[in-house]
Structure 1
Amino acid sequence: MTQPALSVQLTGQRNGFLLDVRFDAPPGLTVLFGASGSGKTSVVNAVAGLDQHATGRIALGGHVLMDSATNLHLPTQDRRIGYIFQDARLFPHMNVRRNLDYARRIARAPLDTTEWNRVIDMLGIGHLLDRRTANLSGGEKQRVAIGRALLAKPRLILADEPLAALDEARKQEILPYFERLRDEGDIPVLYVTHAASEVARLATTVVALDQGGVVKQGTAADVLSDPSFIPGDVRSVGAVIEAYVVTHHEDGLTELEAGGIPLHLPRIARDPGTRLRVRIAAQDVILSRDKPKGLSALNCLPGKVDQVHLGDGPGAVLSIKTPAGRILARVTKRSVKAMSLTEGVQLHAIIKTVAVAPGDVGGPKD
């Protein structure tokens, strides 16, 4: 059996908060996903060594970072973790070059020119090396912060809501770099977020937390496509399907294919043949028992009701099996009753072309 990249077992009670978190993360980018108060910060602090009173065991590959049974708690500086914060936390009195080199010098690691050039090229920050960090945009600062973490020769990258402080444009600028870090690097990443769109686009593995415990673990498609899993905000409910780019049309639309079904989205800057993940928000799906005619929506997927999850309020979330993959639809209980939407019912799921945002489209790791 392949050894997990990261193994976490944490238990205990602190300040009235009960924590019982256990998961094994494979190589790649593992997302800790959950609402505020779910336990993400407690896990992050324990992994980083910032909570010397944590109880349990944490191992990174073959290296044990913490084992309360043997009173082992490696100090943070000995854990070899590259940390990327919400705010870049760069040194304002240093230029970009010196910021990048800081962590290496603290770790007393020799300068690896090949690795230095690879990281600089991957992040596209060569032209920034001599600039002061105060003169950088938010997106540029985060790219430098990612580079600094990578050049520290870490065994693990810990990214604690690294996009939370950025506006939407800067988020779209940074997301591809995390995709490259996931796909091209050999360093496991533990990525913390409460944003479903980031989970859908980036995660190799998702560990969903709620009230101090793990409520679900699996791929992004497995976790996000569960109609009973409501990640804090019901508006963030949505499933993930995989598709590939077929062609780009002159009217600004990109045609995808998913399970033999054509999908049209606003232009995606990817070459034909490129595989993609597409997150479809449940609130953007309309259901019809009959095949619709005369609609402006271009995307219509035939499917069958797989599960019906009735919420505490007036809403319901339905899981729909389609040739393109499982999608979710958020409707009212009144519609469920009026349309007799029960398991096994055949219907059509309609998705507006412009409803899928650019941040909901990204490339999966092969």
Structure 2
Amino acid sequence: MIKINNKYEKFKYRVNDLNNNNISAKFSFRNPNFYFDIELNIPVSGITAVFGQSGAGKTTLLRCIAGLEKIAGGQLKFGEQQWQSADQFLPVHQRPIGYVFQESALFEHLNVLENLNYGRKRAHSGVNQEEFERIVELMGISQLLSNNAALLSGGEKQRVAIARALMMKPEILLMDEPLASLDRKRKQEVMEYLENLHRELSIPILYVSHSVEEVTRLATYIVVLERGKIVKHGDIKRVLSDHILQDMMADEPFTLLFGQVISACNEYCLTEVKIDGHTIYMPRQNVSDEQLIRLHLNARDISITLQKPQQTSVLNVFECQVIEIGDATGNGQCMVRLSLNNTELLAKISDYSRVILNLRPAQKVFAQIKAVSVVQ
């Protein structure tokens, strides 16, 4: 995990406190190939993911909010600020936003410091040296300042691009698939910095992505789009409890768990996480004690038994209650929703197993989860 020096602990980055306000947007247009019809109210706090497959309208929505697209009759309000109405359109340079594109869009003939200064000069209220150093440290680019932008790796370029956007001192950061062009290792690297950025600066982020992994790791709120319309939006945990929606989002059904680290590394090199009063063991993670983390658990990695095993290599065995049993699919499998206190788990088993176990709603069962199958 990336550690941040606490000498800036009292430093406040945000220009205005907008946590209790919303973005209210209404846009509609039609062309021969696409019908875009959006009306939503989302919080200006945390990380809001705009999720959807290619062609869903994610980038169009982001460009409308940024002011890069002007749709006739559109309505847009940011907190108490009216950005667009029937007789008003605030140009993009007057909106307090930072924009990060899929490609870094750095000036490759300049070095990193010169790229950052370009953003710094455009800050509405100015960025002092302390603020500058804070942003540089948060994005881990202090050793890159004299490097030519053209010679940076893909992950480094995106970190510099994010830092440059922050230098403009925005009240909201708009990110359009910022990790799409990176390989898996670089994505993981940049996601760690994004998590730190959210924790340390509390700047609201509107994050466009078609990656379930990015959304489940980063987002606190989600807007799901399909063919230019909103399918659903709300708190990430509530939205992802809709398993029909999950089928649209991911190839494999999964459960997203929210927990707190009890031990980052116990004597057996396992990380222990408290989930709703229960302890889950998983391979050692790059986390710290008491840290709040999320766990991704694929439905296929949960097995069900009627009696608690007395001797088993499976470390995670929990008493649950069956909530619902789905119909068998064409490949002979079915989904079982389980209740673990106030937490729901989703298990994928064969329909034959369902018959053998004679599973039924309200039945007490035990869910078994291998430690190696739990993913942060």
Give the TM bin, normalised by the shorter chain. Answer: 0.7 to 0.9
Instruction: Compute the TM-score of the two structures, normalised by the length of structure 1.
Output: 0.88
How many angstroms apart in 2 are the aligned matches of 1:121 and 1:179?
14
1:121 is matched with which residue?
Answer: 137
Superposition pairs for residues 345-356 of structure 1, below 5 Å?
345-356=363-374
Deviations 1:14-54 (A, max 9, x none): 33423332222221111112222332122112112222235
Unaligned runs of at least 5 residues, structure 1: 362-366
Superposition pairs for residues 221-232 of structure 1, below 5 Å?
221-230=237-246, 232=248
> Is the 1:305–1:318 contact (alpha carbons within 8 Å) kept by the matching residues of 2?
yes
2:167 is matched with which residue?
Answer: 151
1:37 is matched with which residue?
Answer: 55
Partner of 1:229, secondary structure, is helix
1:14 aligned to 2:31? yes
2:12 is matched with which residue?
Answer: none
1:317 is matched with which residue?
Answer: 335
1:326 is matched with which residue?
Answer: 344
Relative to structure 1, is the Cα distance of residues 231 and 147 closer, same or farther in structure 2, using a 3 angstrom cutoff?
farther
How many angstroms apart in 1 are the aligned matches of 2:57 and 2:348?
27
> How far has the Cα of 1:209 moved from its partner?
2.0
Pick from 269, 281, 287: which aligns with 1:270? 287
Relative to structure 1, is the Cα distance of residues 108 and 209 closer, same or farther in structure 2, using a 3 angstrom cutoff?
closer
Q: Which moved more, 1:278-287 or 1:332-341?
A: 332-341
1:65 aligned to 2:69? no
Give the letter for the 1:124 counterpart: G
Relative to structure 1, is the Cα distance of residues 226 and 113 closer, same or farther in structure 2, using a 3 angstrom cutoff?
same
Partner of 1:268, secondary structure, is coil
> Is the 1:287–1:348 contact (alpha carbons within 8 Å) kept by the matching residues of 2?
yes
> How far has the Cα of 1:149 moved from its partner?
0.8
How many angstroms apart in 1 are the aligned matches of 2:73 and 2:358?
50
2:266 is matched with which residue?
Answer: 249
Give the letter for the 2:266 counterpart: H
Relative to structure 1, is the Cα distance of residues 46 and 310 closer, same or farther in structure 2, using a 3 angstrom cutoff?
farther
> How far has the Cα of 1:309 moved from its partner?
4.4
> Is the 1:97–1:129 contact (alpha carbons within 8 Å) kept by the matching residues of 2?
yes
Give the letter for the 2:267 counterpart: E
How many angstroms apart in 1 are the aligned matches of 2:307 and 2:254?
23
How many angstroms apart in 2 are the aligned matches of 1:308 and 1:208?
26
Partner of 2:361, secondary structure, is coil
> How far has the Cα of 1:322 moved from its partner?
0.7
Pick from 32, 48, 71: which aligns with 2:66? 48
How many angstroms apart in 2 are the aligned matches of 1:308 and 1:324?
18
Deviations 1:107-130 (A, max 9, x none): 575342221111112112111111
Pick from 214, 218, 228: which aligns with 1:202? 218
Pick from 224, 240, 254: which aligns with 1:238? 254
1:364 is matched with which residue?
Answer: none
> Is the 1:83–1:157 contact (alpha carbons within 8 Å) kept by the matching residues of 2?
yes
State percent identity of aligned pairs: 35
1:78 aligned to 2:94? yes
Partner of 2:313, secondary structure, is coil
Give the letter for the 1:206 counterpart: I
Give the letter for the 1:171 counterpart: K
Q: Which moved more, 1:138-147 or 1:103-112?
A: 103-112
Q: Which moved more, 1:15-24 or 1:252-261?
A: 15-24
Superposition pairs for residues 89-128 of structure 1, below 5 Å?
89-106=105-122, 110-128=126-144
1:87 aligned to 2:134? no
How many angstroms apart in 2 are the aligned matches of 1:45 and 1:312?
40
How many angstroms apart in 2 are the aligned matches of 1:15 and 1:56?
20
> How far has the Cα of 1:158 moved from its partner?
0.6
How many angstroms apart in 2 are the aligned matches of 1:174 and 1:346?
42
Relative to structure 1, is the Cα distance of residues 188 and 194 closer, same or farther in structure 2, using a 3 angstrom cutoff?
same
Partner of 2:337, secondary structure, is strand
> How far has the Cα of 1:291 moved from its partner?
2.6
> How far has the Cα of 1:189 moved from its partner?
0.7
Relative to structure 1, is the Cα distance of residues 210 and 344 closer, same or farther in structure 2, using a 3 angstrom cutoff?
farther
Relative to structure 1, is the Cα distance of residues 325 and 117 closer, same or farther in structure 2, using a 3 angstrom cutoff?
same
2:10 is matched with which residue?
Answer: none
Partner of 1:35, secondary structure, is coil
Give the letter for the 2:116 counterpart: L
Relative to structure 1, is the Cα distance of residues 305 and 119 closer, same or farther in structure 2, using a 3 angstrom cutoff?
same
2:15 is matched with which residue?
Answer: none
How many angstroms apart in 1 are the aligned matches of 2:171 and 2:330?
45
1:162 aligned to 2:178? yes
> How far has the Cα of 1:188 moved from its partner?
1.6
1:138 aligned to 2:138? no
How many angstroms apart in 2 are the aligned matches of 1:151 and 1:225?
37
Instruction: Indicate the RMSD between aligned Cα atoms, in angstroms.
Output: 2.5
1:214 is matched with which residue?
Answer: 230
> How far has the Cα of 1:141 moved from its partner?
1.3
Relative to structure 1, is the Cα distance of residues 191 and 309 closer, same or farther in structure 2, using a 3 angstrom cutoff?
farther
Give the letter for the 2:297 counterpart: I
1:190 aligned to 2:206? yes
